[in-house]
Amino acid sequence: MPIERLHGTCIAIETDQGPVGALLRADPGGGKSDLAFRLINKGAKLVADDQVELSCEDGVVMARAPENLKGSLEVRGFGVAAVAHVDRAPVALVVDLVTADEVERLPSDRSIDLVGQSVPVIALAAFEASTEDKVLLALRARASAMPPAPSAVTHGEQAGAPPDGAVNVVLVTGLSGAGRTTALKALEDQGYDVIDNLPLRLVNPVIRQTPEVQPLAVGVDSRNRDFSLAGLSTTIDELRADDKVALRLVFLEADEETLQRRFTETRRRHPMAEGRPLRDGLAAERNLLEPLRAKADVVLDTSLMTARDFAQKLTGVLEIDAGDAMTIFVTSFSFRRGIPREADMVFDVRFLRNPHYEPALRNLTGLDAEVADFVAADPGYPSFFEHLTGLIEPLLPRYQAEGKSYLTIAFGCTGGQHRSVTLTERLALWLDGKGWPCTIGHRDLPTGL
């Protein structure tokens, strides 16, 4: 793969379409590093400063730094600083830094050739206050027109949904610290049975015994007790040859700085860093797993992704229908036994009249009409329920838009038998009428749902 080195600076940002980079060009002293520094302070990451290596991979221009310059940015008046960086990024845009009077008000479209590929060019004034915002705006606009980057997805933009009549299996592997646990949690939220750290000798038999109606996600990496690259490669080949198994291999990776930070923050020991620096362990694992990466249906670089972005990207490339529904669970509880730990919203309804002090109602529950009518007759009830639904209704679509899979709403009273049960049933009925199906639980009723 031919590599072209040029003078410039490259930064990258994360977008809904994945990471995209901007190549900044200027004469020496023209403000490349200064603009990159301001962009990094707005959340971008450095790819390379001063010298940028470019290559063409699957029709995408990829940028990286020479090995001796990784993570280093020249900050005028301070010196060379270590900054947040990624190993590489697809170049979506070239920004030529010019004087303010050279910036066109309504520029015509233009592009340049980089390693055989056409890349759009814009001209901006390096030191104007709005320049970094303009770069970010242009990058995000350009992202939707970019082909999938090799660092984000390989072997096609989508891994595709599995064929009918075959066991749907996603095998998640990759570099330690790149997000395997997060990936498995995201797949579990989509209805997959999940098995992590399954011994390699059991992967094949477990998958073959899985009913075809139940999708399965399996996590395997170099921390598995009997891990061997040859053994895992053979298992993958055997499963891919089986018409009854629809296997998709997901390989997760991240740049060196991100992995180092994650291991430092969690204080976990890298499986290949025994008796040597973490950096050496990361490099050894990356080299070891390179053949496995080449086998993958999907390669995801998680360096710039939040957990939410990662989950959305993963389900997108696997063509998993996440659906529009958010699972809502409404439950009652007794404050004597504590607030449900899983509750997202908790409402204390002990201000309402207590049916416990009515002899005819004491042994009934909020499931009985007599108790429900008694609670609803409280003078404060109508106003409370109106304000309650007024609070919840606008929140539900916002929670769903943010990717929330589960929402638990809990009502508490003294005994968890009367008032909280009534409110739980009433709110569930209201939610259903608004098109939000939900399930109901009554944690502390004697029958215990």
Q: Could you tell me which residues are beta bridge partners of residue 89?
A: 63
pLDDT at 262: 87
pLDDT at 165: 65
The model's confidence at residue 338, banded by pLDDT at 50, 70 and 90, is: confident
- Please state the rounded mean pLDDT for residues 296-317: 78
What SS3 class is residue 346? strand
Lowest mean pLDDT among 23-37, 86-100, 134-148, 180-194: 134-148
- The secondary structure of 359-390 as a DSSP string is TTTTT--TTSHHHHHHHHTSTTHHHHHHHHHH
Q: Which amino acid is at 175?
A: L
pLDDT at 191: 85
Mean pLDDT score of the chain: 85
- pLDDT tens-digit map of 359-377: 999 999 999 999 999 999 9
| CA–CA gap between residue 423 and residue 155 (Å, rounded) | 52
pLDDT at 448: 37
The model's confidence at residue 148, banded by pLDDT at 50, 70 and 90, is: low
State whether 122 and 209 are in the same domain. no
pLDDT at 213: 67
What SS3 class is residue 106? coil
Q: How many domains does the chain have?
A: 3
The model's confidence at residue 283, banded by pLDDT at 50, 70 and 90, is: confident
**278 is a domain residue:** yes
Output phi, psi for 327, to 5 deg: -75, 120
What is the percent of the chain with per-residue pLDDT over 90, rounded to a whole number?
A: 36
Q: If you average pLDDT over each of 16-30, 161-175, 231-245, 272-286, which comes out highest?
A: 231-245
State whether 184 and 303 are in the same domain. yes
State whether 218 and 279 are in the same domain. yes
Instruction: Give the dihedral of Cα atoms 144, 146, 152, 158; nearest 10 deg.
Output: 80
CATH number, domain with residue 219: 3.40.50.300
pLDDT at 32: 92
Q: Which amino acid is at 194?
A: V
Question: From the CA atom positions of the chain, what is the Rg in Å?
Answer: 28
The model's confidence at residue 333, banded by pLDDT at 50, 70 and 90, is: very high
The answer, yes or no, to whether residue 430 has pLDDT greater than 90, is yes
pLDDT at 89: 87
- pLDDT tens-digit map of 17-50: 667 899 999 988 889 999 999 998 888 889 999 8
The model's confidence at residue 225, banded by pLDDT at 50, 70 and 90, is: low
- Please state the rounded mean pLDDT for residues 285-304: 84
324 versus 416: the higher-pLDDT residue is: 416
- Please state the rounded mean pLDDT for residues 253-282: 82
The answer, yes or no, to whether residue 153 has pLDDT greater than 50, is no
State whether 99 and 233 are in the same domain. no
The answer, yes or no, to whether residue 117 has pLDDT greater than 50, is yes
**67 is a domain residue:** yes
62 contacts 116 by C-beta, under 8 angstroms:
no
State whether 310 and 331 are in the same domain. no
**214 is a domain residue:** yes
Taking alpha carbons only, the member of 337, 365, 327 closest to residue 446 is 365
- Please state the rounded mean pLDDT for residues 76-81: 83
The answer, yes or no, to whether residue 151 has pLDDT greater than 50, is no
**159 is a domain residue:** no
State whether 305 and 351 are in the same domain. no
pLDDT at 224: 66
State whether 361 and 398 are in the same domain. yes
**153 is a domain residue:** no
219 versus 273: the higher-pLDDT residue is: 219
State whether 341 and 383 are in the same domain. yes
**190 is a domain residue:** yes
pLDDT at 373: 96
State whether 62 and 86 are in the same domain. yes
**160 is a domain residue:** no
State whether 50 and 188 are in the same domain. no
Output phi, psi for 270, to 5 deg: -70, 135
Domain ranges, residue 107: 4-143
pLDDT at 155: 35
State whether 16 and 124 are in the same domain. yes
Q: Where are the alpha helices (DSSP H) in 9-154?
A: 32-40, 131-143
pLDDT at 158: 45
Print burial letters for 6-45: b (CB count within 10 Å at least 16), e (below 16).
eebbbbbbbbebbbbbbbbbbeeebbbbbbbbbbbeeebb
- The secondary structure of 176-191 as a DSSP string is TTSSHHHHHHHHHHTT
- Please state the rounded mean pLDDT for residues 158-172: 71
**157 is a domain residue:** no
269 versus 390: the higher-pLDDT residue is: 390
218 contacts 171 by C-beta, under 8 angstroms:
yes
Q: Could you tell me which residues are beta bridge partners of residue 195?
A: 218
State whether 303 and 331 are in the same domain. no
For the chain, the 3-state helix, strand and coil shares in percent, each to the nearest 5, are 35, 25, 40
pLDDT at 131: 92
